[in-house]
């Protein structure tokens, strides 16, 4: 699998790179407001992974989500979501049985995370090599179907909001992004649903996004919607960058 993360950098390098990284989506380079959909051909579908501390470690706080666009040849060339961590228990919001088919729906909160958008995407205004936004909330709705007590399918929707910071004293640009109909296609340690071939986002962590994991699940993402809302007011926060991530193809 291909990594998107570099090792820790020195404080001197961090100080030198922090300002251009944080300001890549601002300082005269705003995004175009609008809605971008896989259905319209304006944002790519993708692939996702959830890193766990061991095989079948679903539901553990600290499990980490990573997702990236996939156009059939390049991973993460259009958009990326990284380092969002499970931060609380899953809530069962629906449990319905039809004969021998049972469907259970769970809502799980995550926290943290960054979104990266290509500077050549349909949302780009030109001049910025990329846009990097900060997530303010993320939740995963997972629908699990059981036939005669056996799990036969899992489909998840990943919904999150955040903002692309503006220059100091200027409003941020808020966004909403939905990764819909993510289908479970593989997991480590399960011969009946083995890890799929090809290039997928790395397992990062869990717990520490700077570490590489070895256990978790693989998801195919068919539908993505990005809505850039425009200028908005966000709560005052202090962002601590423990490292600078270099994102590449």
Predicted TM-score (pTM) of the model is: 0.81
Domain regions of the chain by residue span? 11-226
> Using CA atoms, how far apart are residues 120 and 31, in angstroms rounded to an integer?
11
Q: Is residue 133 a contact partner of residue 172, using CB atoms and an 8 Å limit?
A: no
> Using CA atoms, how far apart are residues 43 and 54, in angstroms rounded to an integer?
33
The DSSP line for 139-192 is EEEEEEEEETTEEEEEEEEEEEEEEE--STTS-EEEEEEEEEEEEEEEETT-TT
Give me the pLDDT at residue 234, please.
55
Q: Which residues pair with 102 in a beta bridge?
A: 97, 146
pLDDT (tens place) for every residue of the chain, 249 residues total: 443 332 322 333 223 333 333 344 444 468 999 999 999 999 999 999 999 999 999 989 999 999 999 999 999 999 999 999 999 999 999 999 999 999 999 999 999 999 999 999 999 988 889 999 999 999 999 999 999 999 999 999 999 999 998 767 678 899 999 999 999 999 999 999 999 999 999 999 888 888 899 999 999 999 999 999 988 765 544 333 333 233 323
């Amino acid at each position: 699998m291909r990594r998107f993360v570099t090792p820790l950098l020195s404080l001197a390098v961090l100080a030198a790179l922090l300002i251009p990284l944080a300001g890549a989506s601002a300082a005269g380079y705003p995004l175009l407001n609008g809605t971008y959909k896989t259905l319209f051909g304006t944002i790519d579908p993708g692939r996702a992974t959830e890193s766990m501390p061991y095989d079948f470690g679903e539901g553990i706080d600290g499990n980490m989500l990573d997702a990236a666009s996939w156009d059939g040849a390049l991973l993460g060339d259009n958009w990326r979501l990284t380092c969002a961590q499970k931060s609380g228990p899953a809530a069962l919001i629906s449990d319905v049985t039809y004969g021998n088919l049972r469907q259970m729906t769970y809502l799980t909160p995550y926290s943290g995370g960054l979104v990266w958008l290509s500077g050549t995407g349909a949302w780009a205004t030109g001049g910025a090599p990329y846009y990097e936004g900060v997530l303010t909330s993320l939740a995963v709705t997972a629908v699990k179907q059981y036939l005669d007590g056996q799990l036969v399918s899992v489909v998840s929707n990943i919904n999150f909001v955040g903002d692309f910071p503006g220059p100091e004293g200027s409003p941020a640009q808020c966004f909403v992004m939905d990764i819909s109909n993510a289908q479970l296609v593989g997991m480590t340690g399960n011969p009946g649903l083995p890890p799929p071939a090809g290039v997928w986002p790395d397992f990062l962590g869990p717990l520490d996004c700077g570490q590489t994991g070895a256990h978790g699940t693989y998801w195919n993402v068919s539908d993505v919607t990005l809505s850039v809302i425009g200028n908005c007011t966000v709560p005052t926060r202090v962002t601590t960058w423990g490292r600078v991530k270099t994102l590449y193809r």
